[in-house]
Chains A and B, each alone.
Chain A
Amino acid sequence: METEALLSVTGLKKYFPVRSKMLFKKSTTVVKAVDGLTFTVQSGETLALVGESGCGKSTTANVILGLEKPTEGTVFLEGKNVHELTGQENRTYRRNMQAVFQDPWSSLNPRMKVQEIVGEPLVVNHKEMSSSEVLEKVKQVLTDVGLDPSLMGRYPHEFSGGQRQRIAVAAALVSDPKIIILDEPVSALDVSIRAQIMNMFRDIQDKYHVSYLLIAHDLGTTRYMADKIAVMYLGNIVEYAETEELFEHPLHPYTEALFSAALPSDPDIERDEIILTGEIPSPINPPSGCPFHTRCPKKVGDICEREYPEPGEPTAPGHLVSCHIYRK
């Protein structure tokens, strides 16, 4: 009944070994940056991974982008395992999966002209294209992201932060990708520029029918941009739902705490803040059972410490929560 997902991530784990050399013995421990993620992204939709620093959202992005190999689990793009591609298949994957990073100041090579930057994915992966075809395509995407193509002979430092982010988006779009990973794409921009860029992302999605995997920590941005949201904590997804469902009915105690900490958009809004006690535990020795049990204000009992709460039946269509409270 369900069509095959564009991107499907199954049981993804990424552990980093940490070697500590004592005088005589060597011991190896692991940081469990990502500890078993499963999710899908459908064609044309936006999924946001939300969480605080250290929750593993950036590592997840790196694995999906093929920059890191997973310790366990698989990433399939259009039915092909992205970590087992060779030759032409790999080039197709590189064309279909693009990324826009956070910092528009360091994500463009200062020594390359805009046309070289934007055209690079074609030069590298579409070897059959002539240089005039590449240039044509570059002009077209620059226009689509709202930049004057006549400026393409300039270097990045001649542009402002917002314009640079548009250049980065143009470079991501040029190979007609199926999905773009947006890693905190607006958090380094000024407030007035953020809205421009977010609106542009939405227009581009309508026009190109591209999917986004949005990595973000700002809740306002995710509510505006995402169709579905996965809330991450310590390398796990604790809650997953459609955006409006999640914001209106957050279930997981961590999601509740996170939402309560969000800054208000109006001085008259006063929330009951749920202040979490304690620290985010170290991913080197994550807590047994539910990773959140050490700070959870609503702990049910021993079971939280013993057993990982597998998400059970959806509480509402497509709303999954990893918490013992909601398991019958």
Chain B
Amino acid sequence: MDVKQDPAVQQEQEQGKRIGKIVLEVKDLKTYVRTKRGVIPAVDGVSFYVKQGETFGIVGESGGGKSMTAKSILRMEPKPAASIEGGEILLDGVDLTKLSEKQMRKIRGREISMIFQDPMTSLNPVFTVGNQIGEGLRIYEGKMDKKTLKAKIIELLKKVNVAAPEKRISDYPHEMSGGMKQRAVGAIAISSSPKIIIADEPTTSLDLTIQAQYLRLLREIQEKSGVSIIFITHDFGIVAKMCDRVAVLYSGRIVEQGTVRALFKNPSHPYTHALINSVPKVEKRVDRLYSIPGQPTPAWERKKGCYFANRCEYAVDRCFEAYPPTFDGLSGTEGHLADCWRLEDKTWKPKPYLA
């Protein structure tokens, strides 16, 4: 396969991105959910930050709490079954957990916009594309005359690389190709000039070639508008391709976070390490995949200690007694954090898995 493996090139590309100050900071977020089996912590003290122009990945398996984290940031946790019971969500210094629903409505879609699964179905078939982009613009920027509005819509379509936007503006969704529709959805997502776009598994239902188109579009949008993107995904491939930094969630907690390269090169938490080694590679055939035994323990059956201990090949007695603290500065970089007792020993790391 045609593979370029040149870290220098990659480095250059990253520096080309304008990464700025912190836009969003989540501190010790706790979201609890009432289930039949009692109240459980779906998000159990999650802390991370996202800088301007940065792409942050939240990766984990079902039940890990990644979707609930995203919903909590938007204050769309399913009430009343779920409720934020602690922590702060600071958007440019404003704590979203303290805002009323009315105030949140001004944030949602405007400051933080959202892209859901299968983005193409989010266009309304009975309105023209221009109409749908303009609708957002009018809400966010107030009334304006038709001419200015049209000019702004065209400008947005140009930003997402739609050819001949003057003509496209009066097209209905069914008159556009799939790629064009993607671009139109992208234009709507940035029409409010949001600070952050939260993309919740936006490409899981898409075919490979369509997914590639879409990911490229998101990159273009980011380069042009400098928006931050939070990617919620279960796919390490997407993280590797798109993200600058990443947090790995397990049972409602971030077990490891850091730059994507640090995590891939030096996974420090046994769970991250195992996950990366359990994904079959396109680039080369592995003899045997690493497989994590068992499955995540449901919250109501959890015992004290590290949540991953019962599936971890490195677990020692201590792991079953108390939840480990967070260690920083792993792999020699600040901001590479992981929760694991074994990391007390600075030289310890999971054995490389030889396939």
Residues of chain B within 8 A (CB-CB) of A191 are 61, 234-236, 275, 278-279
17 contacts between A and B (CB under 8 A): A191-B236, A191-B278, A196-B291, A217-B207, A223-B280, A224-B280, A224-B285, A260-B212, A263-B211, A264-B240, A264-B283, A265-B240, A267-B239, A270-B9, A271-B3, A273-B212, A279-B179
**Given known A195-B291, A270-B4, contact A265–B236 (CB-CB < 8 A):** yes
B261 is an interface residue with CB less than 8 A from chain A? yes
Q: Quick check: is A28 within 8 A (CB to CB) of the other chain?
A: no
B63 smallest CB distance to A (angstroms): 8
Decide yes or no whether B99 CB sits under 8 A from chain A.
no
Q: Which residues of B contact A268 (CB under 8 A)?
A: 5-7, 10, 261
- In the complex the two chains form, what is the Cα distance from A243 to B282 in whole Å? 11
- Of B3, B7, B61, B285, which one neighbours A192 at CB under 8 angstroms? B61
- In the bound assembly, the distance between CA atoms of A225 and B237 in angstroms comes to 19
Contacting A224 at CB < 8 Å: which of B3, B208, B286, B295?
A: B286
Contact B211 A261, beta carbon cutoff 8 Å: yes
- Residues 228 to 278 of chain B near chain A (Cβ within 8 Å): 234-241, 260-261, 264, 274-275, 278
Tell me if B90 counts as interface (CB < 8 A to partner A).
Answer: no
Q: Is A194 an interface residue (CB 8 A)?
A: yes
Q: Does B2 contact A (CB under 8 A)?
A: yes
B170-187 interface code vs A (CB 8 A; 1 in, 0 out): 000000011100000000
Chain A proximity mask over B283-319: 1 for CB below 8 Å, otherwise 0? 1011011111101000000000000000000000000
B209 within 8 A of A: yes
Question: What is the minimal beta-carbon distance from A146 to any residue of chain B, in angstroms?
Answer: 10
Count chain A CB atoms within 10 A of each CB in B2, B235, B261 and give the residue with the most: B2
Chain B contacts to A: CB under 8 angstroms: 1-7, 9-10, 61-62, 177-179, 207-213, 216, 234-241, 260-261, 264, 274-275, 278-283, 285-286, 288-293, 295
Tell me which residues across on chain B come within 8 A of A192, comparing CB atoms.
61, 274-275, 278, 291-292, 295
Q: Which residues of B contact A198 (CB under 8 A)?
A: 280, 289
With contacts A265-B240, A266-B240, A268-B5 known, what are 9 further pairs, Cβ within 8 A? A53-B207, A191-B278, A192-B291, A193-B61, A198-B289, A223-B285, A263-B211, A267-B10, A269-B240
Q: Which of A40-48, A244-252, A283-291 contacts B (4 or more CB under 8 A)?
A: A244-252
Tell me, in angstroms, the Cα distance from A192 to B216 when the chains sit together. Answer: 27
Number of CB contacts from chain A to chain B under 8 A: 149
Report if A219 contacts B (CB, 8 A). Answer: yes
Residue in B closest to A193 when the chains form the complex, CB atoms:
B295
A196 to B278, CA, bound (A): 9
For A265, the closest partner residue in chain B by CB is B281
Contact of A109 with B by CB under 8 A:
no
Residues of B contacting A190 with CB < 8 Å?
Answer: 61-62, 234, 295
Residue A221 at the chain B interface, CB threshold 8 Å: yes
Chain B proximity of A269: nearest CB distance (Å): 6
Report how far A267 CA is from B244 CA in the complex, Å.
9
How many Å lie between the Cα of A193 and that of B240 in the bound state?
20
Select from chain A the residue with minimum beta-carbon distance to B281. A265
Tell me, rounded to whole Å, the shortest Cβ–Cβ distance linking A321 to chain B. 16
Residues of A within 8 A of B178 (CB): 279
Q: Are B216 and A275 in contact (CB under 8 A)?
A: yes
How far is A190 from B211 in the complex, measured between Cα atoms in Å? Answer: 20
Residue A160 lies at the interface, judged by CB distance under 8 Å to chain B: yes
Contact with B along A204-220 (1 / 0, CB 8 A): 00000000000001011
A31 contacts the other chain (CB 8 A): no
* Contact call B275/A262, Cβ cutoff below 8 A: no
Complex alpha-carbon distance, A279 and B235, angstroms = 25
Which among A162, A199, A221, A273 is the interface contact of B288 at CB below 8 angstroms? A199
Pick from B212, B279, B283, B291: contact of A261, CB below 8 A: B212
**Does A223 lie within 8 Å of B291, measured CB to CB?**
no
B282→A196 contact, CB < 8 A: no
Is B4 in contact with A269, judged by CB distance below 8 angstroms?
A: yes
Q: Is A76 an interface residue (CB 8 A)?
A: no
Contact B286 A269 (CB under 8 A): no
CA distance A192 to B292 in the complex (A): 6
Who on chain B is nearest to A163 by CB? B295
Is A259's CB under 8 angstroms from B280's CB? no
How far does the alpha carbon of A190 sit from the alpha carbon of B296 in the complex, in Å?
10
Shortest distance from the beta carbon of B129 to any chain A beta carbon, whole Å: 17
The distance in angstroms between the C-alpha atoms of A312 and B121, with both chains bound, is 42
Residues of A close to B4: CB separation below 8 A: 269-272
- Chain A, Cβ-Cβ closest to B7: A268
Q: In the complex, what residues of B have CB within 8 A of residue A250's CB?
A: 1
Inter-subunit contact B241/A263 (CB<8 Å): yes
Bound Cα distance A220, B3 (Å): 15
Q: Name the A residues within 8 Å of B208 (CB-CB).
A: 52, 217, 219, 258, 261-262
Which residues of the partner chain A approach B281 to less than 8 Å between Cβ atoms?
220, 223, 265
The closest CB in chain A to the CB of B298 belongs to A160
Chain B residues with Cβ below 8 Å from A5 are: none
Nearest chain A CB to B101's CB is how many angstroms away? 33
Residues of B within 8 A of A263 (CB): 211, 235, 237-238, 240-241, 282
Contact check, A195 vs B290: say whether CB atoms are below 8 A apart. Answer: yes
| Contact between B61 and A258, CB atoms less than 8 A apart | no
Most B Cβ at <10 Å: residue of A199, A244, A271: A271
Which of B62, B216, B289 has most A Cβ within 10 Å? B289
Q: Which residues of A contact B291 (CB under 8 A)?
A: 192, 195-196, 199
